[in-house]
Structure 1
Amino acid sequence: MIAVLVALALLILLALATLLFLVPWAIARRLTRVLPRTYWDTYTYTPWEMGIEFQEVCFPSGDGLSLSGWLLPRPETDRVIILASGYRGRKSELLGACGYLWRQGFSVFALDLRGQGESQQERYLTMGYREVQDVLAAVDYVCLRIPGARVGVLGYSMGAAVAVMAAARDPRIRVVVADGGFAFQKDIIAHNFTQVTHLPPWPFVDLAEWWVERRAGFRPSWVCPADEIGKIAPRPVLIIHGVEDDLVPVEQARTLYRRAGDPKELWLLEGAKHAGAYFVDRKAYCQRIAGFFERWLA
């Protein structure tokens, strides 16, 4: 009887050890994995469908990757808005905002972050840690193409987090609009892990962070836009978030707003899910972001 109990205990311990190994490893792999290019990365809509002349460009990131972008020029202005999509996103998803801003008289530059869309495939995604270099490289590029450029950045989800961190590090970014961005990356991983598995985040997320560092060379706890957003002031920030966001809870937006310096605005949309404010009321959304850029890039 004792031998049976010992064997059972060993089996339970083995199962727990396996769970504590495999689950965090799977989280780390899922978060950092670069997906193969799909049909939709190549066969996609462009500004041409909107009747807008544009230039397809390639430009280097700070660490030597080849990045893809669309430049929608307005030769009569030096105001340019850089747009960045979210995690595993692509620039074609931004056409609605791109087209509206261009029609309002801004030059527009939409980019694919590393490992996404038509940009060079990186070995691992880092959910903002290295992607911030891509937005900084886009600023370099537009300032080279448009001397004296007055630059604003509009980012969605991970792109919003990247926009905040880029502006905190580069004073050439005069205005930031962050839609659906997170305050703390590790908190979002923990939240979504619990949503999917109904398990407590500890110890799985902490162990996953260790795996992420072994695999991709960074820790999610290092990616904290909330710790950087205060450096943007006195440049303006508009934070947009859907109240019904179940991927990045709205409290993350409130945290960003509390930590930002003035001038700042917080726009919370009832009925909007993650980075979905545009789709809840396209007209109001476009007028709000264009008006914000118009006011602060004047």
Structure 2
Amino acid sequence: MSNRPAGCVARSTDCPHPETPGRGPLRTFLRAADGTRVDALYRPRDELYRPSDEPSDDSDGGRSGLVFVVAHGFTGDVDRPHVRRVAGVLARYGAVVTFSFRGHGASGGRSTVGDQEVLDLAAAVAWARGFGHARVVTVGFSMGGSVVLRHAALYPGAVDAVVAVSAPARWYYRGTAPMRRLHWLVTRPEGRLVGRYGLRTRIHHRAWDPVPLSPVEAVPRIAPTPLLLVHGDRDAYFPLDHPRMLAEAAGDHGELWLEPGMGHAENAAPDALLARIGDWSAARGS
């Protein structure tokens, strides 16, 4: 029987195993349930930020406790500076797994803009859990925000808390100029060429069939898992009716932060906000 963690792809160099000693980052390809290769990176907690009165268990290389799984927005990937910055702040609170959704970066396949990406997140969560962490928190941005909501609804109990930043509430929204441009990018052949060669994002040409569960339909199914919704009041993609719809659907088990002056997703999220998300996550289930 192989000793590779669940979801790892066999290749010339064996995938890193959760029991591998040491604290350094680990990078490999995971395999989603449909066979798509997913480029993933594990980063241990930054010990410089561990409080002096908090014990550190060196017996497991610092891999106990909390791990974040970060789901980037459309056209992001594991190597983008804004994704690395998010990981750097969250690493003050726990280990971090970042990965590239299908069709992005070095991952295989083509982007389905939030549908089959749930399988990529499921592989990353399973890999993160395999390191022995007691708690897994998913943190998604924009498209990744819709994915973490749907993942928590479709895989009950897979994670211990969910954070969705700048997430849409419903599909096919065209009410803002940036979203109309995005729909052109996704639905038109010339748009998909721009995506491939200009944005390093390979987009699938097929329309959704069937249409996946929408974020607002997914949210009620997440309870009792703790849920945090974060949205900027200057978001140029999704106006405030989106987070308010999600919060209403969540009811008492969801928490909504409306951030003054904040724009859209990772690029707009200041370090101070990411630190607050880290604090919120660390307090859940501790």
Q: With the length of structure 1 as denominator, give the TM-score of the two structures.
A: 0.69
Q: Which residue of 1 aligns with 2:206?
A: 216
Q: Which residue of 1 aligns with 2:284?
A: 296
Q: Which residue of 1 aligns with 2:11?
A: none
Q: Which residue of 1 aligns with 2:140?
A: 155
- For residue 193 of structure 1, report the CA deviation from its aligned partner: 6.4
Q: Which residue of 2 aligns with 1:79?
A: 66
Q: Which residue of 2 aligns with 1:59?
A: 30
- For residue 196 of structure 1, report the CA deviation from its aligned partner: 5.0
- For residue 192 of structure 1, report the CA deviation from its aligned partner: 4.1
Aligned residue runs from structure 1 range 168-207, under 5 A: 168-170=153-155, 171-187=157-173, 190-192=174-176, 196=180
Aligned residue runs from structure 1 range 93-242, under 5 A: 93-104=82-93, 106-120=94-108, 122=109, 124-144=110-130, 146-147=131-132, 149-170=134-155, 171-187=157-173, 190-192=174-176, 196=180, 215-219=205-209, 221-242=211-232
Q: Deviations over 1:67-95 (max 9, x none)?
A: 10110124332321100101111123322
Q: Is the 8 A contact 1:84 1:91 kept in 2?
A: no
Q: Using the alignment, how far apart are the partners of 2:92 and 2:154 within structure 1?
A: 30
One-letter amino acid of the structure 2 residue matched with residue 56 of structure 1: R
Unpaired runs of 5+ residues, structure 2, are 1-22, 46-60, 189-203
- For residue 107 of structure 1, report the CA deviation from its aligned partner: 1.1
Q: CA RMSD in A?
A: 2.8
- For residue 153 of structure 1, report the CA deviation from its aligned partner: 0.3
- For residue 194 of structure 1, report the CA deviation from its aligned partner: 9.2
- For residue 148 of structure 1, report the CA deviation from its aligned partner: 5.5
Q: Using the alignment, how far apart are the partners of 2:37 and 2:43 within structure 1?
A: 19
What's the secondary structure of 1:80's corresponding residue?
strand
- For residue 147 of structure 1, report the CA deviation from its aligned partner: 3.0
Q: Using the alignment, how far apart are the partners of 1:223 and 1:232 within structure 2?
A: 13
Q: Which moved more, 1:270-279 or 1:56-65?
A: 270-279
- For residue 149 of structure 1, report the CA deviation from its aligned partner: 3.8
Is residue 275 from structure 1 mapped to residue 265 from structure 2 by the alignment? yes
What's the secondary structure of 2:263's corresponding residue?
coil
- For residue 223 of structure 1, report the CA deviation from its aligned partner: 4.6
- For residue 97 of structure 1, report the CA deviation from its aligned partner: 2.1
One-letter amino acid of the structure 1 residue matched with residue 175 of structure 2: H
Q: Is the 8 A contact 1:234 1:262 kept in 2?
A: no
What's the secondary structure of 2:237's corresponding residue?
coil
Q: Is the 8 A contact 2:71 2:145 kept in 1?
A: yes
CA spacing shift, 1:101–1:195, aligned 2, 3 Å: closer
Is residue 247 from structure 1 mapped to residue 237 from structure 2 by the alignment? yes
Q: Is the 8 A contact 2:90 2:275 kept in 1?
A: no
Which structure shows the higher helix fraction? 1
- For residue 261 of structure 1, report the CA deviation from its aligned partner: 3.9
Runs of 4 or more above 3 Å deviation? 192-197, 219-223, 276-279
- For residue 221 of structure 1, report the CA deviation from its aligned partner: 4.8
Larger radius of gyration: 1
- For residue 56 of structure 1, report the CA deviation from its aligned partner: 1.2
Q: Is the 8 A contact 1:150 1:172 kept in 2?
A: no
One-letter amino acid of the structure 2 residue matched with residue 80 of structure 1: V
Number of positions where the alignment pairs a residue of Structure 1 with one of Structure 2: 228
Q: Which residue of 2 aligns with 1:39?
A: none
